[in-house]
Structure 1
Amino acid sequence: MRSPQGVCLFSLNFPPEPTGIAPYAGALADGLSKAGFSVTAHVAHPHYPEWIIADDYGQWTRTEERGRTSVRRRLHYVPRTPRGYRRLLSELTFGLRLIFDNWRYPAAIVSITPSLFATALVALRLRLTPNRPPLIIWVQDLYGVGLAEVGEGSSLVQRIVRWIESSTFRAADHVVVIHERFNALVTQELGVAADRVSVIRNWTHLADPPNTTAVQARRQLGWPADVILAVHTGNMGAKQGLENIVDAARLAEARNSSVHFVLVGDGGERKHLESLANGVSHISFVDPLDDHDYHLALSAADVLVVNEKPGVASMAVPSKLTSYFNAQRPIVAATDRAGITAEEIFAADAGLVVPAGDPEALLSAIQSLCADEQAAERYGKNGRQYRDAVLGEPAALAKWSDLIQQKFRDSNQN
């Protein structure tokens, strides 16, 4: 018999991973647990953004408690370079671990994509399960759009992925997307009925920033005090197109500019980027930071940078934006002006947007913004106000709780 308070959460990423989807998956598990649900998180071992399984992890199975959440970790294939067939194999092996696990009759299942292919296997198992619990898919990225925007895969591969994505989403009892733009894509292009799609925005998962000045933060981190720091955080993957920042740093060096770029994080493209930046004095690479030092890194910045590969517009909402808004620092985004990232920054009035793949424009925007202290301060305050008004955690978690309860009631009636 299914428990009215039991929830299974399936996620490839989960704390203690510091960035990307993991903090939101952990926050959802915590929030639902506090709301009275019995949450079991079926997750992988921590491996992101380095794409290396963390020390002390890697057992075939591992069970742990995280607050009120029971966490069941399953070993899967983790490629060092997560591209093409290696990425597919990684998701499929995680999905196979999920579908042969014991789910213990939950009231509802929440499966996060990424991982799309693991979620597709979950949907297939549920289709073969009598008296099955409702499936809610939480969409953080759109694969079909993403392949087209970053130029990966042949047209045949892109069509196959879009078909899998559409079939998986239509098999779900409900689909939750993180932005209104995703809502339009999921309903109009992937064929999901509009009444089975909800928008629940990602929320700020960080605590309020410490009352630390940029000078104090730089001193604690050992970062230079006499330069303009432009900080980018998070994944270093294909869709970020961070070669643009390396080129901007090279320009800054050639012009003896005071702008210094800091890339915080890791990812499949980091080694390539470090090779490109070899000998460039105006750029530094920093390994992923814990929450305390991550706060300091944001506080140390004069400008926070979002960078996307030319052509990337609708595949994802950068998770770093919620943290950037929280930090009260102005943002410069090198991205498509018609894309989701630019739309968010314009909605918040939190910074400047320049064309993707234009290092000259990126460097000029950073310099001009830092020369106008009033504008920089205004953008920082606007971002924080937008966070408070639109990206609050309590309202988002309340929507999740209501949705799960409603889907459980609907499944019982059917």
Structure 2
Amino acid sequence: MRILLISHYYAPEFGAPQRRWSALVRRFIAAGHQVTVMTPVPHYPAGRPTADQAQCHHVGGTETGMHGETIVRTHYLAHRGDIVTRSADHALAAIDGLRRSLLRFRRRSARPDVIIATAPAIDSLFAGTILSRLWRVPLVVEMRDAWPDLVTHVGAAVRHERVSGGEDPPAPDPARPPRRSLPRQAIGVVKAQVHLLVSAWQRDAAQVVTTTSRFAGVLRKRGIARVDVVRNGADLNVVQPQRDHVPAHEELRCLYLGNMGRSQGLETVVRAAARVHAEGVPIRVRLVGHGAERERLDGLARELGAPVEVHPRIPYSEVGEQYAWADTVLVSLRSWEPFTWTVPSKLYELLATGRHVTALVAGESADVVRASGAGDVIQPEDVDALVDLWRDLQADRERVAVRASGRNWVREHASDDVLARRYLEILTEVREG
């Protein structure tokens, strides 16, 4: 089977979508299939290539990937990470990928048997839809997250916080005429149109793939019948199980490893650590990664005198040392409805380590932690509950003992081998109509 993958993110970049597709492509090729990847020159997360990437990867270049896949590099737009320039980057890469695909596959005999367009970026779905219609080749639309619902909800929530700190906004002053908020209205119209477009592309596809059952259910309620689930996962050959340890240290060691953005709600973690510390309970917290909130979290920890260390992103080769240091590992999301439909990809790696998981999540993420018996679940953004949990874990160290249940759950439900086999079954069914 000849597969064309359209993705804005791909190796050698490092991140959840890059890891997912590297794992899947490796197994697709090992099973005898051909894969062509249409993707920009590497420029994530900085918005521009590193010096090494700029030297090794060129716009219009054709490369052989580390698994034997063919990679065609498209244009990109260097950006600052803001929504405007990042959206322009997505659009440019998708349009150039569409153009290069039409040129590369002019001969009908060379065209792919199936196209996969993966979002985000949502613009990749546009390119995949056009190619599918022109070539009459089946399209698989992959929604790696609850897009565009998440963007719409997060934007509204962030505006609410800026206005009122999370409380209801103040009542208008009758003595002052109301101000028109045309930009906000315009943004609302654009988001509504994006919703309609994405839903249309999903209905037009031969198959939609999501990474969670709950979001698949949301799409089915919207009338999108052909929906299947292929989770994110973990490579059990790469993620090594941690050895159980009887801590020689008195303090409870808590580790968060990943993105530090608004979506994660890590302010809750910092405030809980400060309160536990103030009670005289020995505790240390490490936040390791990058994101828009990293500096603010570091400042909050200093302000509160919290025993929280904030570290920059580290190479994956050093991740094992961090897991070995920890007694419990954190997964955290805000209490926003779309997050009940999603599961952070990092969670599967945490389960595979065997470390106790402190999970500030709801919905499907909470279901996974409970089903795997991997740790304790509390409501997102609940400082009081997190303080209580950490106090109890420090007092009873047996509760943070390494357990095999999380890794066993991943082996059965979310290992890369299992996920690749399921994906290939879907692609075969789509190709055969």
When normalised by structure 1's length, the TM-score is: 0.85
Further displaced range: 251-260 or 391-400: 251-260
**How far does residue 155 in structure 1 lie from its aligned partner after superposition?**
4.8
Instruction: State the partner residue of 1:408.
Output: 431
Q: 1:341 aligns with which of 365, 369, 386?
A: 365
**How far does residue 29 in structure 1 lie from its aligned partner after superposition?**
1.1
**How far does residue 369 in structure 1 lie from its aligned partner after superposition?**
2.6
Q: 2:144 aligns with which of 140, 145, 148?
A: 140
Instruction: State the partner residue of 1:107.
Output: 113
Contact 1:240/1:309 (CA < 8 Å) preserved in 2?
A: yes
Return the alpha-carbon distance in structure 1 between the equivalents of residues 389 and 47 of structure 2. Answer: 33
Instruction: State the partner residue of 2:126.
Output: 120
**How far does residue 113 in structure 1 lie from its aligned partner after superposition?**
1.1
Instruction: State the partner residue of 2:355.
Output: 329
**How far does residue 253 in structure 1 lie from its aligned partner after superposition?**
4.2
Return the alpha-carbon distance in structure 2 between the equivalents of residues 371 and 252 of structure 1. Answer: 12
Q: Which runs of 5+ in 1 are unaligned?
A: 219-223
Return the alpha-carbon distance in structure 1 between the equivalents of residues 48 and 286 of structure 2. Answer: 22
Instruction: State the partner residue of 2:73.
Output: 73
Return the alpha-carbon distance in structure 2 between the equivalents of residues 81 and 276 of structure 1. Answer: 23
Question: 1:265-284: per-residue Cα shift (whole Å, max 9, x none)?
Answer: 21233333334334545222
**How far does residue 363 in structure 1 lie from its aligned partner after superposition?**
3.2
Contact 2:11/2:19 (CA < 8 Å) preserved in 1?
A: yes
Return the alpha-carbon distance in structure 1 between the equivalents of residues 391 and 279 of structure 2. Answer: 12
Report matched runs for 1:22-41 at 5 Å: 22-41=18-37
Contact 1:230/1:260 (CA < 8 Å) preserved in 2?
A: yes
Return the alpha-carbon distance in structure 2 between the equivalents of residues 116 and 254 of structure 1. Answer: 46
Return the alpha-carbon distance in structure 1 between the equivalents of residues 197 and 219 of structure 2. Answer: 13
Question: 1:148-191: per-residue Cα shift (whole Å, max 9, x none)?
Answer: 442437654443232122112112111111221121011112x2
Q: Which runs of 5+ in 2 are unaligned?
A: 106-110, 157-183
Instruction: State the partner residue of 1:228.
Output: 252
1:12 aligns with 2:8: yes
Instruction: State the partner residue of 1:399.
Output: 422
Q: 1:197 aligns with which of 216, 227, 231?
A: 227
Question: 1:90-132: per-residue Cα shift (whole Å, max 9, x none)?
Answer: 32122122111135311111111111122223313433x1x33
Report matched runs for 1:226-265 at 5 Å: 227-265=251-289
Contact 1:19/1:234 (CA < 8 Å) preserved in 2?
A: no
Instruction: State the partner residue of 2:344.
Output: 318
Equivalent residue of 1:285, what SS? Answer: strand
Return the alpha-carbon distance in structure 2 between the equivalents of residues 315 and 211 of structure 1. Answer: 28
When normalised by structure 2's length, the TM-score is: 0.81
Contact 1:252/1:282 (CA < 8 Å) preserved in 2?
A: no
Question: How many positions carry a matched residue from both structures?
Answer: 391
Equivalent residue of 1:143, what SS? Answer: coil
CA 1:143 to 1:17, structure 2 compared with 1: closer, same or farther past 3 Å? same
Further displaced range: 231-240 or 44-53: 44-53
From the CA coordinates, give the structure whose radius of gyration is larger.
2
Equivalent residue of 1:137, what SS? Answer: strand
Return the alpha-carbon distance in structure 1 between the equivalents of residues 265 and 85 of structure 2. Answer: 20
Return the alpha-carbon distance in structure 1 between the equivalents of residues 136 and 383 of structure 2. Answer: 52
Return the alpha-carbon distance in structure 2 between the equivalents of residues 90 and 229 of structure 1. Answer: 40
**Root mean square deviation of aligned Cα:** 2.7
Equivalent residue of 1:122, what SS? Answer: helix
Equivalent residue of 1:277, what SS? Answer: helix
Return the alpha-carbon distance in structure 2 between the equivalents of residues 78 and 305 of structure 1. Answer: 33
Contact 2:235/2:415 (CA < 8 Å) preserved in 1?
A: no
Return the alpha-carbon distance in structure 2 between the equivalents of residues 324 and 235 of structure 1. Answer: 14
Instruction: State the partner residue of 2:315.
Output: 290
